Amino acid sequence: MRRPWGLLALVIVSAACTGDTTPPTTEPALPAATQPTIAPSQTATTSPATPEIRADGVTVTDDTIYLGVLADLSGPFSGLVVDIVDAQLVFWADLNERGGIADRQIELMVSDTGYDVARHRLKYEALRDHVVMFAHSTGSPHTAAIADDLVADHRLATVATWYSGWADPVLGANILETGSNYCLEAMNALTYIAEEQRAQAGALPRVAIATDAGDYGQDSAAGAKHVLASLGAEVVFDGEGAISSSADLAAIGAGIAQSGADWAWLATDPTSSAAIVRAAIQQGYAGEWSGAMPSFSARLLDTALGDYLSQTWLMSALFTPIGADVEGMGDVYDVLADAFPSRYPSDALVKGYLEFSVVRSVLERAAEIGDMTPEGLEVAAGSIGSYVFDGLSPANVYAGNPNDAVTRASALYRPSKQLFDQAGGLGASLGAGAASPFVSVEGFFVSPAAADYTFEGPCHTL
């Protein structure tokens, strides 16, 4: 039985948007099978008397708060993003069932961007005037393309991107991220790898780097190169920005194999990771692998590479995998299991909760100060202080000097094919109590390089 939160409740209206400026229509954004079923609350809750609240009557009315979602539901990261969005739907549903926020129900207007920057902008423009903020925005270049608009339009956005530029008080002024960033993540992971290799082999590792072009991949590459240079480790293959939709992934894998690297650092999507790994081992690569968190998915353990990856991949993590033994996981897991008992335990469901948690905090704070206009939410976001996630992710701060506010910690795990198979492989389910098949190597930690890094701008400049 889950402990009642005394906070939550929900009725969802999703919307698909076109490029025009007419209000979104209420059609399901996700297949009906993915919509949540919410278990009854264990205890009744009574909302306190709501003070007079300023609202614009459009994005927040007397009975409804409208939130926008700009999500990659059909592009390269859709396998992760559908889980993120579904988790948001579940937790907003639970919140609405418990009374909502300030006696108002929350409705999500969900739009598929297909991981296309131009389409992302069009969807933003279609939703902008109808939502008080954006509860999700997928992608670094995509969110960067609307960053100035968010400020001009007084709209906040919670994001599925860990670009170091969000620490910039200008570029990231209206961005609410969760966890650390790709640049610092690479510093932490590669520091650990270097120290382990030096302890075991008496020498620093030779490292190959291969990443996506653009903010995500090159931000990670910048962090990797910074820490390797500071340690005196050699980069023997430099594939920064080499991965794209038209790239020859087999050639990248062959280049890694021929470089003689002891470790390869990737920043791409799981499908591209698998193609590069396969090509490298076919060419005799004998090293190990790691990479930015979005580069790996537990579903890769169900492929022919499963046993190999279980032995050679070190997974960096910006938040805890689902089912991890941390303080905040119990209630989160129970809500998801109630709603999706047959669902595979995807870690992206935890990310969905983190996004929900940030937006909920902003809305509740705005209600407290009596201003739920878009401008009021901007004030609310900066007045909360630390956003704490009970061990699910390091705390975030959205105001102040970037060097003081930026979150620097990340964690490390090993994927386990044995745990994956024991849980039923891809047949594992939340209802059966299945957890992510990852073994903790290092909890949230900050390497010396990450601790000492001074932000004078993004690690990778747009």
Residue-wise pLDDT tens digits, 118-142:
999 999 999 999 999 999 999 988 9
Return d(Cα 159, Cα 175) in angstroms, integer: 7
E strand or H helix at 87? helix 78-97
Give the model's pLDDT for residue 58: 98
E strand or H helix at 411? strand 410-415
**Residues 136-170: pLDDT tens digits?**
999 988 999 999 999 999 999 999 999 999 988 88
Q: Where are the beta strands (DSSP E) in 178-271?
A: 207-212, 235-243, 263-267
Give the model's pLDDT for residue 51: 60
Supply 55's token pair: 């609202």
Given CATH 2.60.40.10, say whether it is the number of domain 32-179+326-394.
Answer: no
Q: Could you tell me which of 218, 113, 229, 158 has the C-alpha nearest to residue 387?
A: 158
Q: Indicate the burial class of 218 (C-beta count within 10 angstroms; 0-12, 13-18, 19 or more).
A: buried
Give the model's pLDDT for residue 339: 97
- The domain limits of the chain are 32-179+326-394, 182-317+409-452
Give the model's pLDDT for residue 305: 98
**Residues 99-109: pLDDT tens digits?**
999 999 999 99
Is 182-317+409-452 in the same CATH topology as 32-179+326-394? yes
CA distances from 307 to 155, 298, 300, 301 (A): 46, 12, 10, 7
DSSP conformation letters of 339-382 = H-TTS---THHHHHHHHHHHHHHHHHHHHHHTB-SHHHHHHHHH
Q: Could you tell me which of 9, 22, 10, 16 has the C-alpha nearest to residue 130?
A: 22
**Residues 182-222: pLDDT tens digits?**
999 999 999 999 999 999 999 999 999 999 998 899 999 99
Taking 50 as the threshold, does the pLDDT of residue 462 lie above it? yes
- Helix/strand/coil (H/E/C) assignment for every residue in 16-46: ECCCCCCCCECCCCCCHHHCCCCCCCCCCCC
Taking 50 as the threshold, does the pLDDT of residue 253 lie above it? yes
DSSP character for 49? P
Return d(Cα 277, Cα 90) in angstroms, integer: 35
Taking 60 as the threshold, does the pLDDT of residue 36 lie above it? no
| Mean pLDDT computed over 384-405 | 91
Contact 10, 106 (CB under 8 A): yes
pTM: 0.87
**Residues 320-351: pLDDT tens digits?**
999 999 999 999 999 999 999 999 999 999 99
Give the model's pLDDT for residue 316: 98
Question: Which top CATH class is 182-317+409-452?
Answer: alpha beta
Taking 70 as the threshold, does the pLDDT of residue 37 lie above it? no
E strand or H helix at 140? helix 140-144
Give the model's pLDDT for residue 76: 85
Q: Could you tell me which of 220, 194, 226, 192 has the C-alpha nearest to residue 207?
A: 194
Q: Which residues contact 151 (CB under 8 A, 6 or more apart)?
A: 173, 174
Supply 292's token pair: 């930015």
Return d(Cα 171, Cα 250) in angstroms, integer: 36
- Helix/strand/coil (H/E/C) assignment for every residue in 259-313: HCCCEEEEECCHHHHHHHHHHHHHCCCCCEEEECHHHCCHHHHHCCCHHHHHHHE
Handedness of CA 237, 241, 242, 245 (dihedral sign): positive
Taking 70 as the threshold, does the pLDDT of residue 73 lie above it? yes
Q: Which residue has the tokens 């490390």?
A: 412
Taking 50 as the threshold, does the pLDDT of residue 27 lie above it? no
**Residues 297-321: pLDDT tens digits?**
999 999 999 999 999 999 999 999 9
CA distances from 230 to 116, 194, 235, 287, 338 (A): 36, 11, 12, 22, 48
Contact 216, 166 (CB under 8 A): no
